[in-house]
Amino acid sequence: MKPVALTCGEPSGIGPEIAAKARALLGADLPFFLIGDERHLPLETRFQLIEHPAQATDVPADCLPVLHHAFPEPALAGKPAAANASEVIAVIAKAVDLAQRNEVSAICTAPISKKALIDGAAFAYPGHTEYLAALAGVDRVVMMLASDALRVVPTTIHIPLAEVPAALTPALLDETIRITHAALIRDFGVASPRLAISGLNPHAGEGGAMGTDEARMVPVLDRLRAEGFDLSGPLPADTMFHAAARTRYDAAICMYHDQALIPIKTIAFDSGVNVTLGLPFVRTSPDHGTAFDIAGRGIADPSSLIAALRMAAEMGARRGND
Per-residue pLDDT tens digits for 244-253: 999 999 999 9
Checking if the pLDDT of 80 tops 80, the result is: yes
Percent of the chain surpassing pLDDT 90? 87
Reading phi first (left if > 0) and then psi (alpha if -120 to 50, else beta), residue 206 is in: left
Checking if the pLDDT of 17 tops 90, the result is: yes
Angle at 168 between CA 162 and CA 170, to 5 degrees: 160
For residues 156-177, one letter each, b for 16 or more C-beta atoms within 10 angstroms of the residue's C-beta and e for the rest, the string is: bbeeeeeebbeebeeeebbbbb
Checking if the pLDDT of 158 tops 90, the result is: no
Q: In this structure, which long-range contacts are made by residues 147-150, counting pairs with CB atoms below 8 Å and at least 24 apart in sequence?
A: 147/264, 147/267, 147/268, 147/271, 147/272, 147/273, 147/307, 148/268, 148/271, 149/246, 149/267, 149/268, 150/241, 150/246, 150/252, 150/263, 150/264, 150/267, 150/268
State the fold for domain 149-267: Isopropylmalate Dehydrogenase (3.40.718)
Per-residue pLDDT tens digits for 31-55: 999 999 999 999 999 999 999 999 9
Question: What pLDDT is attached to residue 288?
Answer: 86
CATH number 3.10.270.10 is the correct assignment for the domain at 1-140+280-322 = no
**Cα(288)–Cα(85) distance, rounded to whole angstroms?**
19
Concatenating the DSSP letter of every residue in 221-234 gives: HHHHHHTT-EEEEE
Q: What is the mean pLDDT of residues 138-160?
A: 93
CB within 8 Å of 128: residues ≥ 6 apart: 92, 109, 112, 274, 276, 283, 285
Per-residue pLDDT tens digits for 260-319: 999 999 998 888 899 999 999 999 999 889 999 999 999 999 999 999 999 999 999 999
Domain residue extents for the chain: 1-140+280-322, 149-267
- Confidence band of 204 (pLDDT split at 50, 70, 90): confident
Note the pTM of the prediction, 2 decimals.
Answer: 0.91
Pick from 120-129, 164-173, 195-204, 275-284: least confident = 120-129
Pick from 27-41, 149-163, 203-217, 301-315: least confident = 203-217
Per-residue pLDDT tens digits for 219-235: 999 999 999 999 998 99
Question: What pLDDT is attached to residue 213?
Answer: 86
**Cα(269)–Cα(209) distance, rounded to whole angstroms?**
35
Per-residue pLDDT tens digits for 182-195: 999 999 999 999 99
Question: What pLDDT is attached to residue 259?
Answer: 97
Is the model more confident about 321 or about 41?
A: 41
Q: Which of 2, 52, 9 is nearest to 30 (CA)?
A: 2
- Confidence band of 197 (pLDDT split at 50, 70, 90): very high
**Cα(304)–Cα(284) distance, rounded to whole angstroms?**
11
As to burial, measured by CB atoms within 10 angstroms (0-12 exposed, 13-18 middle, 19+ buried), residue 321 is: buried
Q: What is the mean pLDDT of residues 195-205?
A: 91
Alpha-carbon torsion 146, 152, 154, 158, what sign?
negative
**Cα(26)–Cα(310) distance, rounded to whole angstroms?**
10
CB 285 within 8 A of CB 110: yes
Question: What pLDDT is attached to residue 269?
Answer: 82
CB 252 within 8 A of CB 150: yes
**Cα(306)–Cα(318) distance, rounded to whole angstroms?**
18
DSSP 87: H
- Confidence band of 129 (pLDDT split at 50, 70, 90): confident
